């Protein structure tokens, strides 16, 4: 029996703060917290939730972590090689077997295959082993009060207070520094809206109950737009030459089009037309690994905006579904650290918005690289090399 989603959805719509209030951030903490309190009371949060709020405080360690992100300053091969390890593959397979009936129920109800859920479960917390040591209420409070991204965190506060008020979570719940809770690191609003009591004990326990975690995670993914019965990603082989400027996640084309240009299944056999459209993603350029990404892959980017993280999560899901490790092929040397920052500076000097000079090959940097590759007559694959840098 799940939480009554419809009722809660209506409830959450009622308690959505007015836009002006939602943008409030910074300033005197006590005054700011009074604003949250008024919002919580209007949403029906009772004494237990309000008492928790009265003890909430700013956690400087959360701000430090928020300012110090940099784990995606790695190539796909490096990051996925570190994240997809034997422990996760072995335990992923074991958990798919151990909870086979729950995964089957999750796929039946929400259309999300077990390996997709198990891959997030592995990457986020090693199947619940590492859920985070930050006080969740303080973390969410801190990031909602901070002015860097209040629009992301302010909407999490009242749902979290509601969960505490109802006794679903204790006031001292611990989780990730950015407010995610439980074995698949779900935010309070998803906990409240998508939470499902998978083991039927009457409580949604996303920290301690694997069936609750599996069903809730499937529910969350389905609500983000997952399409039942469709693939998410497929490794392919690419030819030596093709219209590289057609590659990229967002340029979705029928598989017949990719086949026409010489793209094949990984083993060289012809692509079967499955009636779907996919983009061709080359995370390390046209000489590196290659994947067709379908609409369902886009759902991964709602989970995490990092291209490298999402490719890794999607590939781990494919591994858990039986695929072999991707072929690294022979990618051209890329740019890392200072040389990536130098490239970004040169792109900024040329008038591009690369989304900050952070040494990370994100969407904006890739797009600027593609435009410069086109101008210079190089293969337009979004993979910056020392040769490109020397040409700018
Ligand atoms: Ca339960």
3-class DSSP string for 109-150 = HHCCCHHHHHHHHHHHHCCCCCCCCEEHHHHHHHHHHCCCCH
**Ligand 1 mean position, distance from CA 195 (Å):** 10
**Ligand 1 mean position, distance from CA 207 (Å):** 10
**Ligand 1 mean position, distance from CA 166 (Å):** 15
**Ligand 1 mean position, distance from CA 330 (Å):** 48
- Give CA–CA dist 276/255, Å, rounded: 7
Tokens 């209007």: give the residue.
42
**Ligand 1 mean position, distance from CA 224 (Å):** 23
The yes-or-no verdict on residue 80 having pLDDT over 60 is yes
The two three-digit tokens of residue 323, written as one number:
């695929």
**Ligand 1 mean position, distance from CA 81 (Å):** 34
**Ligand 1 mean position, distance from CA 106 (Å):** 14
**Ligand 1 mean position, distance from CA 328 (Å):** 42
Mean pLDDT of 248-257: 96
**Ligand 1 mean position, distance from CA 206 (Å):** 8
Helix (H, G, I), strand (E, B) or coil at 277: strand
The yes-or-no verdict on residue 159 having pLDDT over 50 is yes
Q: Is the dihedral of CA 138, 140, 145, 148 positive or negative?
A: positive
**Ligand 1 mean position, distance from CA 168 (Å):** 10
- Give CA–CA dist 70/25, Å, rounded: 25
**Ligand 1 mean position, distance from CA 218 (Å):** 15
Q: Which domains does the chain have, with CATH numbers?
A: 5-68+131-223 (1.10.8.350), 233-320 (no CATH), 337-391 (no CATH)
Torsion on CA atoms 66, 70, 76, 78, rounded to nearest 10: -130
- Give CA–CA dist 280/292, Å, rounded: 5
Nearest to 157 by CA among 61, 67, 42: 42
From residue 213, how far is each of 26, 138, 245, 272, 318 by CA, in Å?
A: 34, 23, 41, 35, 20
**Ligand 1 mean position, distance from CA 161 (Å):** 20
In sequence order, what are the residues at sequence separation of 6 or more whose Cβ sits closer than 8 angstroms to the Cβ of residue 260? none
Q: What is the pLDDT of residues 119-129, one digit of tens each?
A: 999 999 999 99
Q: What is the pLDDT of residues 1-19, one digit of tens each?
A: 333 334 444 444 444 444 4
**Ligand 1 mean position, distance from CA 170 (Å):** 15
**Ligand 1 mean position, distance from CA 211 (Å):** 7
**Ligand 1 mean position, distance from CA 182 (Å):** 13
**Ligand 1 mean position, distance from CA 107 (Å):** 18
**Ligand 1 mean position, distance from CA 184 (Å):** 15
Q: How high is the pLDDT of residue 363?
A: 86
Nearest to 257 by CA among 243, 267, 268: 243
The yes-or-no verdict on residue 111 having pLDDT over 90 is yes
Q: How high is the pLDDT of residue 20?
A: 44
Mean pLDDT of 267-282: 96
The two three-digit tokens of residue 29, written as one number:
């903490």
- Give CA–CA dist 55/233, Å, rounded: 45
Q: What is the pLDDT of residues 338-374, one digit of tens each?
A: 999 999 999 999 999 998 898 888 889 999 999 999 9
Tokens 């779900």: give the residue.
186
Q: How high is the pLDDT of residue 17?
A: 45
**Ligand 1 mean position, distance from CA 203 (Å):** 4
- pTM of the predicted model as reported, rounded to 2 decimal places: 0.91
Strand order in the sheet with 277-281: 248-254, 277-281, 290-293, 233-237, 264-265
- Give CA–CA dist 248/251, Å, rounded: 6
Mean pLDDT of 223-240: 98
Say if residues 76 and 83 touch (Cβ distance below 8 Å).
Answer: no
pLDDT band for 234, please (50, 70, 90 cuts).
very high
In sequence order, what are the residues at sequence separation of 6 or more whose Cβ sits closer than 8 angstroms to the Cβ of residue 307? 283, 301, 361, 362, 363, 366
Q: Is the dihedral of CA 184, 103, 159, 1 positive or negative?
A: negative
From residue 344, how far is each of 72, 282, 309, 372 by CA, in Å?
A: 16, 20, 21, 12
In sequence order, what are the residues at sequence separation of 6 or more whose Cβ sits closer than 8 angstroms to the Cβ of residue 86? none
Q: How high is the pLDDT of residue 22?
A: 45
- Dmax over CA atoms of the chain, in Å, equals 66
């Amino acid at each position: 029996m799940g939480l009554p989603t419809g009722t809660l959805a209506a409830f959450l719509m009622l308690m959505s703060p007015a836009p002006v209030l939602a943008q409030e951030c910074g300033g005197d903490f006590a005054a700011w917290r009074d604003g949250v309190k008024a919002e919580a009371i209007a949403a029906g949060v009772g004494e237990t939730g309000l008492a928790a709020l009265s003890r909430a405080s700013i956690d400087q360690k959360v701000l430090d972590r928020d300012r110090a992100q940099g784990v995606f300053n790695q190539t796909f091969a490096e990051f996925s090689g570190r994240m997809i390890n034997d422990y996760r593959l072995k335990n992923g397979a074991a958990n798919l077997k151990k909870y086979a009936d729950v995964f089957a129920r999750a796929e039946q109800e929400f259309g999300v295959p077990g390996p997709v859920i198990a891959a997030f479960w592995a990457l986020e917390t090693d199947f619940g082993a590492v859920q985070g040591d930050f006080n969740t209420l303080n973390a969410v409070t801190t990031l909602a009060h901070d002015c860097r991204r209040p629009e992301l965190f302010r909407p999490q506060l009242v749902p979290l207070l509601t969960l505490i008020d109802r006794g679903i979570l204790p006031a001292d719940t611990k989780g990730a520094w950015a407010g995610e809770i439980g074995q698949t690191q779900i935010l309070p609003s998803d906990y409240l809206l998508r939470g499902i009591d998978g083991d039927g004990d009457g409580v949604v326990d996303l920290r301690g109950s694997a069936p609750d975690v599996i069903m809730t995670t499937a529910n969350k993914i389905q609500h983000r737009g997952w399409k039942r019965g469709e693939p998410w990603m497929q490794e392919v082989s690419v030819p030596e030459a093709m219209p590289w400027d057609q590659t990229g996640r967002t340029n979705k084309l029928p598989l017949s089009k990719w086949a026409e240009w010489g793209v094949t299944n990984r083993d060289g056999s012809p692509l079967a037309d499955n009636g779907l459209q996919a983009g061709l993603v080359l995370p390390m350029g046209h000489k590196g690994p290659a994947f067709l990404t379908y609409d369902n892959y886009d759902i991964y980017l709602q989970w995490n905006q990092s291209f490298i993280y999402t490719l890794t999560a999607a590939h781990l899901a494919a591994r858990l579904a039986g695929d072999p490790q991707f072929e690294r092929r022979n990618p051209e040397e890329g740019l890392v650290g200072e040389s990536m920052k130098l490239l970004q500076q040169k792109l900024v000097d040329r008038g591009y918005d690369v989304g900050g000079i952070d040494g990370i090959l994100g969407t904006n940097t890739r797009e600027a690289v593609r435009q410069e590759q086109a101008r210079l007559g190089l293969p337009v694959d979004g993979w910056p090399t020392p040769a490109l840098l020397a040409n700018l």
